[in-house]
Amino acid sequence: MKKLLTLVFVSVLGGIITLSAYKFFIEKEQTITLETKQEQPQFINTNYDTKTANLLHNGQLDFTAAAESTLDAVVHVKNTAIVSAPTSLDDLFFGKRSQRAQVGTGSGVIINKDGYIITNNHVIAGSNNISITLNDNRVYDAELIGTDEKTDIALLKIDANEDLPSIPFGDSDTAKIGEWVLAVGNPFNLTSTVTAGIISAKARDLSGTNSQSFIQTDAAVNPGNSGGALVNSRGELVGINTAISSRTGSYIGYSFAVPSNIARKVVEDIMEFGNVQEGVLGISALNRNSKEAIEMGINEIDGVYISNVEDNSGAKKAGIKSGDIIKKLDNVEISKFTDLSGYIKTKRPNDVVNVEILRDNKLKTIPVKLSKSDIISIEFINMELRNIPSRVKKEYDLTNGVMVRKNENAYLYKRLGIRPGYIITKVNDIEINTVQDISKFTEKYGKNAQDKIFKLEYLDTQLNKKEVIFE
């Protein structure tokens, strides 16, 4: 028996040594290429004349002109990233660490003759190299000009030494539910492909936070369409295809796009400023489905009910008050908060927006100069902090602090339990009154801010006082 076990052990060991020697001395190192096909939300922007005469040919719908004018301006985007490969025998025996190339694919839209291209941020995220394939199969290396993760928009540039076909922006605010649109992209690594559908809804929020404002369509969108064009019957860009709603990973009836007005503003900001300039009204809205809204009898209002106006904001300075109901922004009808947030995303700080409000059963239009977003909220050590609404201060008798709106800091969340709704009152014995105090701390220490924190004082949602010492 012992001889048999010894023989088995020697055989296994010999096999391992032989395989390792083969891989190390003979087998050439291989690069494994993976293609990711995870669909993400899309963005659109439209400018559409609701007259449909240009869609009719011999009494039937005709999209040929719009398709012909857009096909060559939609490109294939390939993102190559270098990632660590799974641990192998080489790693165990020789201490090597294998790497592989992981490839993601999507679509993009040429927006001017100089070679600027819009796509989704998720299509090129983590890339070491980006290549663009035109509809005539020419391939170019692309330069990443800038990205905005919040809207999932990225801007690329290729140098083709010639004028390139492009798609003009339309006005997505004028797009109508029921309007025909085309989705143009590169699903399944094909050349440019066109599908048709209608706009099913506007100002859709897929996150549940009222921070998104997608255009929903029933045009067939599949993996590889992300970053492609949503165009109207005139061939104008009304959105950037970004996401689908699916249980299978493929199209089953709903797709979503970023409105073109948002996408256009993002890329113009990136080109001019290097980042996105966010403007805010400076108001908080009451969720119409909340218990408070139902008790107040305003859960079915058509508009946005203002529950709080931020100090030092443009809305406060213009005379907007809690209890006002926003009905329009610059003649654009506002029926819910995603309508409002989507429109404001197309504006910059110091832009003036005409706000039509309902107050005491009377309509009134008030011009408001938008403020910078950092008067309300700020990013801090992987948390999003915001000023405490006045009603919350009053309800819990708070005199200072900032509220945690989002927490992606694993240490603070898992070890200390800090989550949305908690109030941070002091950092290193420095009293925190507004996000400006947090901003000063960040400016002083920069990226090393968390390493400089030795004490953090905060309140949980039940107002139990806690003090945490960082080691």
The full DSSP string for 159-199 is --SS------BB-GGG--TT-EEEEEE-GGG-S-EEEEEEE
C-alpha dist (Å) from residue 16 to 13, 30, 132, 295: 5, 20, 43, 72
* pLDDT confidence of residue 143: 95
* pLDDT confidence of residue 94: 55
pLDDT along the chain (471 residues), means of 10: 53 53 43 33 36 48 86 92 64 61 87 96 90 92 93 95 94 94 82 90 79 88 89 94 77 86 96 91 82 75 88 92 93 91 93 95 95 84 85 80 88 82 89 88 81 84 56 41
Tokens of 309: 């106006």
* pLDDT confidence of residue 229: 96
* pLDDT confidence of residue 419: 85
* pLDDT confidence of residue 354: 97
* pLDDT confidence of residue 38: 40
* Cα distance between residue 46 and residue 320, in whole Å: 31
The question of whether 341 is a catalytic residue gets the answer: no
| Candidates 226, 255, 341, 371; catalytic one | 226
In Å, the largest CA–CA distance within the chain is 99
Of 342, 45, 339, residue with least CA distance to 171: 45
| Candidates 152, 173, 269, 437; catalytic one | 152
* Cα distance between residue 363 and residue 438, in whole Å: 38
* Cα distance between residue 192 and residue 325, in whole Å: 45
Helix (H, G, I), strand (E, B) or coil at 12: helix
C-alpha dist (Å) from residue 317 to 166, 186, 239, 351, 456: 43, 49, 34, 14, 33
CA angle at 218 for the pair 213 and 224, rounded to the nearest 5°: 80
Pairing status of strand 143-148 against strand 371-372: unpaired
* Cα distance between residue 421 and residue 32, in whole Å: 45
The question of whether 122 is a catalytic residue gets the answer: yes
| Candidates 76, 90, 107, 122; catalytic one | 122
* pLDDT confidence of residue 293: 75
Residue type, 90: D
Q: Which residues contact 213 (CB under 8 A, 6 or more apart)?
A: 202, 203, 204, 205, 259, 262, 338, 339, 341, 342, 345
Burial of 58 (0-12, 13-18, 19+ CB in 10 A): exposed
Pairing status of strand 74-84 against strand 371-372: unpaired
